[in-house]
Structure 1
């Protein structure tokens, strides 16, 4: 009738509340507002509008009815993960009494206000959390012994890493949640079994890869070490090769200053010099003895052997041995005749005249 076509019906007022305007005819486009008495709060829409539909009828928008609820003066018991609540009352102004489970530490959003208080609206301000170590990162091809639903772990928790078949672990196998809520090490990686880890680092030196560049150390990759200027390798062999996920040979490479020698090398050089000096001395001594013996033999044959021959037989020819070769000596008469012939011609003529 008249109400549906020309005015909206009275929307009524909520219990423990009232509306404005409180009475009258509610024509099209009229707005009604709802309020609650003291000690109550409105739950729902606070106003309605009288609108006309396509069929010409009028009604309120929105259509739901608001209610007035008694104001809550107590806070609800807060839910804090990994914590125990010890409050006996939860009235406005009460402080939250909370303790974290073992291994977890309490953290407040406002670090300057380490307390949570029940507010007039029934909520807790600065509500804390009980925090442990955050779930560690799990890199590809690896898994850990912790459920994926555990996001925070208590202090002392040990996480064990493993690789899927066909992969090899590089890094720390175990990670422990420390007291400062930080893990003891970085998460490890799982590498293909034919990929080697990073080559050993060299102080005062570096390395190059064959083939270049050093991006992935596949099976068969050769690493060549070299030293900075002024340094030399302690080992003549400067190459290592990646073989099925491991470096071969597996020795540590060192670079030392050029003027320095490695202790083992110094001892070897000293021993070598001793041997060389001893050998050279021995050879020189033997040569000296041989020379002396040869000289003695030559002198002996020169001074003693000819005299014996002269005393033994006057008619036998005399000779001396020079360097092992016998040399014939002239007889007495031949020696005298040769001496006279060697005199000056004047001396010879004077003798004849006399």
Structure 2
């Protein structure tokens, strides 16, 4: 119809008549639009007389009004958590909802009575309300009733859902009779302001006045009786009785107590201890309305020092326990020792406290020294280094090592091993570990024959030891006015070739004059003791200087520098056959100590096999001094005696 009006008002009559014939008369015979009195016929006849633009303006205005009216939502009444419909009406307001919303009422049955909400709600949600109203039963807690309407102010006057349910199912509303409060007490129900609605599921509680206690059940619940349409509370109301504290304080061990009103509510008790006792807790207690005292009763504690118990692995003996004036003595079991004082005394520090005069000792185990790791063997102990531990030593016999001393079993007693720590060693000579440097004086005063004796002596010394990369390494130089570095033998020249070393030694020439021993010592420090030349930093350097006379240069400084690097310098001073006397102070300057000076007074002929054997014995010394190293052996043997040959 609307499209026809637009066509008739805005287009020509011919178009209007065509529309009339096709869509209105639908081919009916005898119908003439020029005489037809229906509204389409009249519209076709008068359409040409209209002002089309004015008509269209009115038409669009009319359409806008219709659309605006169609887009405007329903007027609804809104409120939140009202206690009744009248309460909702008083505090609520009118609100225009959105176009796709309706007016909704919601009533919930809570433990505080009915609560009401009115609001705008989506139409789809309202449709769901009808399916969800299976929860709607106002006589039961948790009931939720919802329903909607879609006309202005349709939810204003009535609760709508709730009243209709009550009208339709009045027998479903079950109420319990009001509860009477107990004497000296009161009853508290969630819907106390609405005594007409104490419905099934409502719980009421009971409380008593100050000074009284609830005797019985403190709450009761409204429930439906089985097989009856009647509701009753499930518990009888309690009684409120005046109360008192259950405990009556009359005695206090080690003191006394006084109360101003026995154990009645409000009574105050005072506690006092006798001399020699101290109060533990509060000195005042009050019987409170809760029928309990304000705190636990105090006690009178005897003033004592902290109790001592026997220390671990020890005993304690006290004259009077831990009371003031007592003396305690501590002792330890065998293998243990007290950490400090063995006697303690207990005495008062003030009127309420007593303390021991010193900290209590403990019994500490007397441990023997740690055996640690041992070269070329291992220790086996029953209890490590603890008291009464028995240890033994097993050496690598496949490498010719054996324990020294032979009886290797030893015991830890009171923190001390009952025997010296053994070691694993090999026969020395030939086995030892050192870097042996021979510095040979080849000055003209020595003479060729004596030089041969010196070389034979050096060869015999070298043959006394096993030369090897992990045992003894040997370096040899000769000197006079200067060092002969062209014929020198370095530590790494013959690491595992003892025969090659001796062959090289036999080729050393004898020539030159002058005796610059200081220069030879400096050269040894600067060149021969380098790691690149085979010297080992972890092995003791033993420097043996063989000379027959006084040096022409200063020796004290070079000797000190060499010894500061850890080298041990020994001087074999050989008095020549020409009757010259050796300067012993000069030899001490070379060695740094008189204990490392050996004088041979029978000339170079004194460098015999006997002297060589004695020298190697000094080098080997105690087999267990520093393992296979000879440092300790030299220090032990040469620090006690000097020999003259």
TM range (shorter): 0.3 to 0.5
The structure with higher relative contact order (CA 8 Å, sep 6+) is 1
TM-score by length of 2: 0.23
TM-score by length of 1: 0.37
